[in-house]
Structure 1
């Protein structure tokens, strides 16, 4: 019985590893992008259990082979987010007192979360230059008002559908826009921050819709890739941040990085899993910051639990010119074509985004 059970588990791990290789923009396929760490863990347990209990079983080699293949496939995706991989963003080694820096917190508060004080305490402790909050409704806007007293420049977009946003800055903002790129219920924020030294940094904050097993992922993918194409043409230092509802190693995120030519500071450092904050065994990196070649990394930290299903993420970047950064991967031949196709499909329909009733 145990050998058969282990064989079945190994087969499930292998199938779960192969499904994301399918080039389909559907939640039933793309959902398998998320649990790569969990598949590695289960496959490793299967190998150990097989070596312990089932060496004499006729299925021994097949079980080991399938589990090992699953681990290899998954590691090809997640290994770049470990210290074993070269760092894409160079670590800043200069003096922060003489170099312009910008620190950012990205925090999905979870609209139904009522632990307002935990978010306020986190903001007080982290003291970022710019704070981006997602899933903020009118109640969250009111609850954070006193905490944002030190942030005189704000962009407020409260919504009661889990897609509200707040961007708050200690430094002056210009060219501020709340944009509905592809769906009239899903906002994003674009603005330019002027640092104390006079340098301008453009920030784009996103929170596209989540994938669901019962519908396609064009809504999420198209918004992410539309911003990638926009980033291509941005000459100023650029930061893209938010809960992208996609993992760092996914097909769409990799395509985003190739098209935008932005860098991911987690590569070569760690996973920094930000979701699900409530369950230690079901976590993956959903909350991101990507930046242009102008920056080097001062610090990246996952913040403490704030009552949400997301951990807030803190990033501090130094504006150095980034000469020591790794050269971004160039776009593949079909990247722009497939990005444009996703945008065309999503622009051509009118539907409510996923998750608008989850917090009711």
Structure 2
């Protein structure tokens, strides 16, 4: 993989074997940025920012590029201010993100912030479902993009002093069409996730803990009717109150809401279980292993959970792992075969 003017790296070039790499270094040296560059190359997505401009190196040329060989092709994306993003595969320009991603790979990102999937509000859980759906179903990705654009336009109109009802209803039509794709896919994902999450919770915890997922579509799964019922409230509050953007997933451990009643250890275990299950669903959906980007997780886990996680990760998948130290790593573990690199002040050393 190569990167130019990306985050703290003026230039980055690293060759990684099929097994993957261990990146060691102190905090704020650039370890996570390497994983972020891989994420952009694979999925055109950053878990750290929605704005491309924030990823360009301060003091650099103003833009950045990421490239690499993956899935038997040379892939490249380049961002420059005030210009369309460039996507290339084997030197040929791809016209859109969807075209670039159509023959790309899969990815799972794990980090300590994943515990917010349990503790925080529904937005993170919706992003979790969207990241799965967008990788296994291009129609889902397109529908999600259309829904978000229509929702933004509708909310803008609702906030205006004089309501333009015909325009609002036209955007609601787009939202209804898109939701008819989004919510059934989310339901299918949930059915696939539920047994996998339950199994991983037990494996990582080392004891029987019943973890359950309850998908709760806003409007009870009948979006057009719910939209009609919420019409007056939406006009009064001047915002959209029902739809896929308000869906949620309730997570329960032993029958109790995990956000309120689970211990910190149970919550962290549940977060690991969700990401491991994500990888299993992605693999089953596309028939290939995702790349695993694991950001400073192992050093923060107790020995039991750390060993259980190492055993649960699929052996044939490529793994990029960051850590501040390797004291936790047993050289006989499956991760001992990963290439080693040290990250220091925006440079990578083998």
TM bucket (normalised to shorter chain) is under 0.3
| Structure whose residues are more often helix by fraction | 2
RCO (CA 8 Å, sep 6+): is it higher in 1 or 2? 2
When normalised by structure 2's length, the TM-score is 0.26
When normalised by structure 1's length, the TM-score is 0.26
